[in-house]
């Protein structure tokens, strides 16, 4: 009976993970997401340390991990423990030793060291209080560190379900947290894509949770 219960639990876990992955990406995401162009626009360098904040099923995590050297690192940060453990399994299966899964708290990234880039795809609308969150996150950035936000524009179903943020609201949220807009990329048909830097660049110091 115990073995059967364990097998059922494992099966349910696999179903939940597959469901969440499908919900986060939907069918044929590559057609509108242009993931390779998004990643190349970030201009990553080999040894960069990157945080994929709200990594979900790892759609961008693994592309980011391939864009930096094995000596670089991609922290796959998420509040969903099950997805964090699934990401760890996928990274091991694909031999990506520079992916480090991190279980975060809603109000805290829990990054173990300051990073060069914090990347968010379709996660901004989940952040409870962006002004406070990103002001705190400034301590987790290395000098010259950036925050890149890819976020659905509030149109169609995204507007109905609220899984979107108007670009102006992202700009003002980040401005209030101490950042300035450094690039506004407009090649994504469904999402805004902006990169921010700190007004007042100072070395990061925060680590852990």
Ligand X SMILES: C[S@@+](CC[C@H](N)C(=O)[O-])C[C@H]1O[C@@H](n2cnc3c(N)ncnc32)[C@H](O)[C@@H]1O
Q: Token match 């279980």: residue?
A: 103
**Is residue 126 close enough to count as binding ligand X by CB under 6 A?**
yes
Rg (the chain; Cα; Å): 17
Inter-CA distances, 17 with 8, 80, 143, 173, 193, Å: 14, 10, 36, 31, 27
**Is residue 14 close enough to count as binding ligand X by CB under 6 A?**
no
- Minimum distance, C-beta of residue 2 to ligand X, in the bound complex (Å): 30
| Number of C-beta neighbours around residue 195 at 10 A | 20
Query: Of 94, 54, 92, 49, which is closest to residue 72 (Cα–Cα)?
Result: 49
**Is residue 195 close enough to count as binding ligand X by CB under 6 A?**
no
Q: Partners of 83 in the beta sheet? A: none
**Is residue 59 close enough to count as binding ligand X by CB under 6 A?**
yes
Q: Give whichever of 53 and 138 is closer to ligand X, judged by the CB atom.
A: 53
**Is residue 83 close enough to count as binding ligand X by CB under 6 A?**
yes
Q: Token match 């805290």: residue?
A: 108
Q: Give whichever of 68 and 149 is closer to ligand X, judged by the CB atom.
A: 149
Query: Of 154, 198, 205, 203, which is closest to residue 174 (Cα–Cα)?
Result: 198
**Is residue 56 close enough to count as binding ligand X by CB under 6 A?**
yes
**Is residue 102 close enough to count as binding ligand X by CB under 6 A?**
no
**Is residue 104 close enough to count as binding ligand X by CB under 6 A?**
yes
**Is residue 165 close enough to count as binding ligand X by CB under 6 A?**
no
- Record the tokens describing residue 22, joined without a space: 């499908």
- Minimum distance, C-beta of residue 7 to ligand X, in the bound complex (Å): 26
Binding site for ligand X (CB under 6 A): 24-25, 53-57, 59-60, 77-80, 83, 104, 106, 121-123, 126-127
């Amino acid at each position: 009976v115990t073995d059967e219960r364990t097998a059922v639990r494992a099966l349910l876990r696999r179903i939940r993970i597959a469901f969440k992955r499908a919900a986060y990406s939907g069918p044929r995401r590559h057609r509108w997401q242009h993931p390779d162009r998004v990643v190349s626009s970030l201009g990553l360098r080999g040894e960069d340390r990157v945080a994929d904040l709200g990594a979900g099923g790892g759609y961008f995590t693994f592309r980011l991990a391939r864009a930096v050297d094995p000596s670089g690192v991609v922290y796959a940060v998420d509040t969903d423990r099950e997805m964090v453990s699934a990401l760890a399994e996928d990274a091991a299966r694909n031999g990506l030793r520079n992916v480090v899964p991190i279980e975060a708290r809603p109000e805290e990234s829990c990054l173990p060291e300051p990073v060069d880039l914090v990347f968010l795809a379709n996660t901004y609308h989940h952040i409870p209080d962006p002004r406070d969150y990103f002001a705190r996150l400034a301590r987790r950035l290395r000098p010259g560190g950036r925050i890149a936000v890819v976020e659905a524009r509030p149109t169609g179903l995204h507007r109905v379900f609220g899984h979107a943020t108007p670009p102006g609201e992202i700009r003002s949220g980040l401005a209030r947290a101490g950042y300035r807009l450094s690039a506004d990329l407009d090649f994504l048909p469904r999402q805004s894509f902006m990169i921010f830097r700190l007004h007042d660049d100072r070395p990061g110091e925060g680590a852990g949770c």
